[in-house]
Amino acid sequence: MIFKDKTVVITGGSEGVGAAAARMFADAGANLMLVARNKKNLEAIAAELRDKTRVEIFAMDVSDADACVDVFKKTEFEFGRIDILVNNAGFHQRGRFEAVSAEDHANMVDVNLRAPIMLSRLVLPYLQETGNGAIINVGSLAGRQPLADQVTYSATKAGLRTFTYALFEELRGTGIKTALVSPGPLDTSFIMSNLDVVADLTMSQPISTAEDVAQAILGLCGDRQREIALPAISAALSRFFTIFPWLKGFLLPVLEAKGARVKQKLKAQASQEQ
């Protein structure tokens, strides 16, 4: 897809994957509406990118239904069209299921699943006006291979994956595409600032960057793929465990031991840098 003069709405657009995607879309000439809760962070990324393209910001909580309506109204008012929605905002409260509060379980459902469904429904009329476009959802390998201590997070990401695939089928032939990027561990504050509570199994896998995921997002806008899972070796492992679930019990202790070593190494490096 050629992004010049297209309009892209990115949730969670102030940092991490969202900011990386914003930079890449800006380099490609797209107009940007960046959405996040923290207005100060939004203003910072917008100031960085305004010498490359037109950028507007909208500070909101994606679980706020009224704000979800308003953000698209503002986007159309500012840019005259909407071409791409990137559902990137996420919330993850790690820990044993019973140790996580009921409120945090509900927040994970609201931010990771209900909000992307709501935003996708609201953006469709705008995409239909242009006759094409894309909805790209940011999932997780946890949605392909459920993990202990990430029960509700895994459930929401699995639900988002199913939603994406089902909507892809429903929109087939319309010119509007839905797709999903499912990353493993990322070198962002989403994981790196909470290493003590990140599952050892998660950290046994190669670590991707926000730029890796952002590149996948841009690629999915213009090709026929429905999902990119990365890194490739972790995606293959998730498929392997799905086909042969009984082998997971044999390999899990080995992978968890490796992940524990990786976490200790990363924490030691962080201590040296302080």
> E strands along the chain, which residues?
7-11, 31-36, 55-59, 84-87, 133-138, 176-183, 227-230
Tell me the per-residue pLDDT of 108-156, one tens digit each, with 9 for 90 and over.
999 999 999 999 999 999 999 998 899 999 999 999 988 888 999 999 9
Specify whether 153 is catalytic: yes
Looking at per-residue confidence, does 176 or 251 come out higher?
A: 176
Structure tokens at 141: 């390998």
**Which burial class, exposed, middle or buried, applies to 147 when counting CB atoms under 10 A from its CB (0-12, 13-18, 19+)?**
middle
Q: Which residues contact 176 (CB under 8 A, 6 or more apart)?
A: 124, 127, 128, 132, 133, 134, 135
Threshold 0.85, pTM exceeds:
yes
Kindly report whether the peptide bond that precedes residue 206 is cis, defined as omega within 30 degrees of 0.
no
Q: What is the pLDDT of residues 58-73, one digit of tens each?
A: 999 999 999 999 999 9
CATH 3.30.300.20 assigned to 7-273: no
What pLDDT does 17 receive? 97
Size of the chain, expressed as the number of residues it contains:
274
Q: What is the pLDDT of residue 190?
A: 66
Quick check: helix, strand or coil at residue 138?
Answer: strand
pLDDT tens profile 190-225: 666 677 777 777 788 888 999 999 999 999 998 889
How does pLDDT run across 25-41, given as a tens digit for each residue? 999 999 999 999 999 99
Please list, in sequence order, all residues whose beta carbon lies within 8 angstroms of the beta carbon of residue 68, skipping any fewer than 6 positions away. 60, 62, 115, 118, 119, 122
Q: Which of 3, 126, 153, 190 is catalytic?
A: 153
The stretch 74-98 carries a mean pLDDT of 96
Percent of the chain residues past pLDDT 90, beyond the cut: 70
**Residue 86 pLDDT > 90, yes or no?**
yes
Residues 6+ apart with CB under 8 A from 47: none
